[in-house]
Amino acid sequence: MSRKRTDVVIIGAGWAGSILAKEMREAGRSVIMLERGPERRTAVEGSYPGSIDELRGAIRHRLFQNPAKTTVTIRNTMNQTALPYRQLAAFLPGEGVGGAGLHWSGVHFRAAPDDLRLRSHVIERYGKKFIPEDMNLQDYDVTYDELEPFFDKAEKVFGTSGEAYKIDGKIVGNGNVFAPSRSDAFPLPPMQDVHTAALFRKAAAEAGYHPYSMPAANASKPYLNSYGLQMGPCNFCGYCSGYDCFMYSKASPNINILPALRSDPGFTLISNAHVLRVNLDAERSRATGVTYLDQKADREMTIEAELVIIAAFQFHNVHLMLLSGIGKPYDPVSNTGVVGRNFVYQTLTTSHAWMGRNDYTNQFVGAGGAGVAIDDFNSDNFDHGPLGFIGGSPVWVNQAGIKPIAAAMSGGGKSSPRWGKGFKEALVDTYRHSFAIDAHGSNMAYRDVYLDLDPTWKDSYGQPLLRMTFTWKDNDIRMNQYVVGKIEPIMKALGARHYELGRLEYGEPFDTRRYQTTHLGGGAVMGADPRTSALNRYLQSWDVSNVFVIGSNAFPQGMGYNPTGTVAALAYWAAHHIRTRYLMHPGPLVHRA
């Protein structure tokens, strides 16, 4: 076994890891970043036309985690046997330099202020009794105002396109009327509406809602980011979600951060390095470094470090904490422990409108982050009092580019044949003339929805797989059905020839076979109370103070918005406190009460 030393070791080369690497280099610390997947440079592995091949890309999972090596097991309820997630479908974790940040879509939101302190907010507005008994509703223990400078910083790195509504409390534009005030405008103007987004904008306004351009980390113009790195304008190529951007237009660690680090002698990126565990001292109160498998040489290596950053993505972060013994594992029966607690996801349902036969929706045109949304039924922008649920959903047309294999798999409308006679006709009509409207909603945390280690199945490295216990609960189904009902007036205003509303149904379990989102959250959440959170408000482990865990694992519940804008802001927030306080005086940044 070979040993190396560094100031900071970072596990995972996605957004969270790359942000921390850049910040730690700016603080003058030596950094080694370990990534278990391969190298992925835009001009080499990501170049045109190899990057825009649907079969090789989204269908055969060129950029996603290969479950043959390691996966998870899943069950809906605690009395079931969890079974391996053998074929990727419901969610698509990334692998390789850039992580899922290379093949994400680019919808780039800031968390809503109410969502960051949801428990306090619900109690203030509706009273404590409003919270269902088995729901673990919690605050992040960080506020929008505290995070605002870091949201702003992230947008200037990502080159985000969008339209502000309020800056410094003054109304400045036609942005989202529900969005909180900002300290500055978006770095780039909003993306243009594709045809279907323009139709939605008009119909949503007619229905009395407040449409706005979605903030997109797809560049609407050429942009030089705050690290001096260049992005080119997005051409709506439509190979966006699930693909790497050959145009240098979609923000990724590979384009927006890593080029500023690669030639830095104090920074080392090691790919094909699968971290097996974080090593702790005998008291389990201090990390000494990490052990990884060099997959090319098939050799175990150990790195000693002063500071360990776990940035391997939400559920991999929880998995590494459980494998390493960082923090107390959650037990839903005794309701004790924190690692694995508050595992959450997102509710996503899609509705479809079929327009007239002379109206071509050209669904292959699109950019992953662009579109038009309404927030009238998101967060607490509407009165939940008479409705009896917590949470909400933005509703949007977010046409990322629909390719033909994916279109053929879902086929025509609900009543059309899946194959054979009549299939082609319905598929052609649907592909040419329809479009999708999503309700992209929150998901609350519950006592019996959690993560732990599987007792049976192992990965190819001999370690137990992570086990997910997850299903939909009535609160979230009620929320989804309510919001989807609000899409109907939009359908009417569109003058759609035919429409179908997609919604969750009571009693229908979470289905691992159908793609929903890769917006998994929680499992190692941030908070004020070490009995209900694994991390303090700076994403520092309560138990092992030289370990910070960065990712959507920190979210106490799933919000309606996509997570990455908030993950990036939390990464810069944690880095700021590491730089300004922790490095001077290593130790807990918050003391246990």
Partner 1 sequence: MTASSSSRRRFVRNAAGTTALALIPYQGRPAHAGTSEAAVPFEPVFFTPAELEFLSAACERIFPQDDLGPGAVALGVPFFIDRQMDTPYGKGELWYLSGPFHEGPPQLGYQLPFAPRDLYRKGIAAADAYARQRRGRKFSGLSANDQIDLLTAFEGGGVQFPELNARMFFEQLRRNTLEGVFADPVYGGNRAMQGWTLLGFPGARADFMDWVDQNGAPYPFGPVSLARQPL
CB of 24 or CB of 237, closer to partner 1: 237
Q: Select from partner 1, ligand SF4, ligand FAD, none the partner in contact with residue 511, using the beta carbon and a kind-dependent cut-off of 5 to 8 Å.
A: partner 1
* Alpha-helical regions (H) of 175-250: 195-206
Q: Select from ligand FAD, ligand SF4, partner 1, none the partner in contact with residue 218, using the beta carbon and a kind-dependent cut-off of 5 to 8 Å.
A: ligand SF4
- Closest approach, Cβ 192 to ligand SF4, in A, equals 11
- Closest approach, Cβ 35 to ligand SF4, in A, equals 22
Restricting to residues 365-384, name those near ligand SF4 by CB under 6 A. 367-368
CB of 237 or CB of 258, closer to ligand SF4: 237
CB of 335 or CB of 460, closer to partner 1: 460
Q: Select from ligand SF4, partner 1, ligand FAD, none the partner in contact with residue 61, using the beta carbon and a kind-dependent cut-off of 5 to 8 Å.
A: partner 1
Strand, helix or coil at 203? helix
- Closest approach, Cβ 239 to ligand SF4, in A, equals 6
- From 11, 245, 397, 491, residue interacting with ligand SF4 (rule: CB under 6 A): 245
CA 5/CA 438 separation, integer angstroms: 48
CA 578/CA 84 separation, integer angstroms: 38
Q: How many CB atoms lie within 10 A of CB 583?
A: 17
Rg (CA), the chain: 23
Closest CA to 524 of 334, 378, 323: 323
Which amino acid belongs to residue 95? E
384 near 118, Cβ under 8 Å?
no
CA 441/CA 117 separation, integer angstroms: 17
When asked if residue 311 is in the footprint of ligand FAD (CB under 6 A), the reply is: yes
Strand, helix or coil at 6? strand
- From 118, 147, 255, 312, residue interacting with ligand FAD (rule: CB under 6 A): 312
Q: Select from ligand SF4, ligand FAD, partner 1, none the partner in contact with residue 277, using the beta carbon and a kind-dependent cut-off of 5 to 8 Å.
A: none
Q: Select from ligand FAD, partner 1, ligand SF4, none the partner in contact with residue 567, using the beta carbon and a kind-dependent cut-off of 5 to 8 Å.
A: ligand FAD
- From 46, 175, 242, 521, residue interacting with ligand FAD (rule: CB under 6 A): 242
When asked if residue 315 is in the footprint of ligand FAD (CB under 6 A), the reply is: no
| Greatest extent of the chain over all pairs of C-alpha atoms, in Å | 72
CA 346/CA 35 separation, integer angstroms: 27
CB of 238 or CB of 340, closer to ligand SF4: 238
6 near 245, Cβ under 8 Å?
no
524 near 554, Cβ under 8 Å?
yes
Restricting to residues 271-310, name those near ligand SF4 by CB under 6 A. none
When asked if residue 241 is in the footprint of ligand FAD (CB under 6 A), the reply is: yes
Phi-psi map region of 289: left, alpha, beta (phi>0 left; psi -120 to 50 alpha): left
Which amino acid belongs to residue 25? R
Phi-psi map region of 191: left, alpha, beta (phi>0 left; psi -120 to 50 alpha): beta
Q: What is the DSSP string of 386-446?
A: TT-------EEE------HHHHHHH-SSTTS-SSSTTHHHHHHHHHHHEEEEEEEE-B--B
CB of 349 or CB of 475, closer to ligand FAD: 349
Q: What is the DSSP string of 126-191?
A: H-GGGS-TTB-----S--HHHHHHHHHHHHHHHT-B---SEETTEE-SSS-TTSPPBSS--SBPPP
Relative orientation angle of helices 15-26 and 564-577, to the nearest 10 degrees: 30
Site string for ligand FAD, 479-518 (x = CB under 6 A): ---------------------------------------x
- Closest approach, Cβ 526 to ligand FAD, in A, equals 14
Annotated catalytic residue, options 519, 576, 577, 591: 519
Restricting to residues 556-585, name those near ligand FAD by CB under 6 A. 562-565, 567
Q: Select from ligand FAD, partner 1, ligand SF4, none the partner in contact with residue 250, using the beta carbon and a kind-dependent cut-off of 5 to 8 Å.
A: ligand SF4
Which residue carries 């660690």 as its tokens?
253
Restricting to residues 35-54, name those near ligand FAD by CB under 6 A. 35-37
- Closest approach, Cβ 119 to ligand FAD, in A, equals 23
CA 470/CA 74 separation, integer angstroms: 7
Stretch touching ligand SF4 by CB under 6 A, among 242-250, 387-395, 517-525, 532-540: 242-250
HSE-up (13 A, CA, CB side) for residue 511? 10
Restricting to residues 78-107, name those near ligand FAD by CB under 6 A. 92-96, 99-101, 103-107
When asked if residue 362 is in the footprint of ligand SF4 (CB under 6 A), the reply is: no
CB of 17 or CB of 530, closer to ligand FAD: 17
CB of 144 or CB of 248, closer to ligand SF4: 248
CB of 135 or CB of 427, closer to partner 1: 427
Closest CA to 540 of 491, 492, 583: 583
519 is catalytic: yes
- Closest approach, Cβ 298 to partner 1, in A, equals 17
When asked if residue 308 is in the footprint of ligand FAD (CB under 6 A), the reply is: no
CB of 134 or CB of 304, closer to ligand FAD: 304
- From 160, 176, 220, 249, residue interacting with ligand SF4 (rule: CB under 6 A): 249
**Number of residues lying near ligand FAD (CB under 6 A):** 44
- Closest approach, Cβ 124 to ligand SF4, in A, equals 40
CA 155/CA 178 separation, integer angstroms: 19
The set of residues, in sequence order, having a beta carbon less than 8 Å from that of 134 and lying 6+ positions away, is: 446, 447, 448
Which are the catalytic amino acids? Answer: 519
Interface with ligand SF4 by CB under 6 A: which residues?
218, 234-240, 243, 245, 247, 249-250, 367-368
Residues lying near ligand FAD in the complex (CB under 6 A): 11-17, 34-37, 92-96, 99-101, 103-107, 241-242, 273-275, 311-313, 316, 368-369, 518-519, 551-552, 562-565, 567
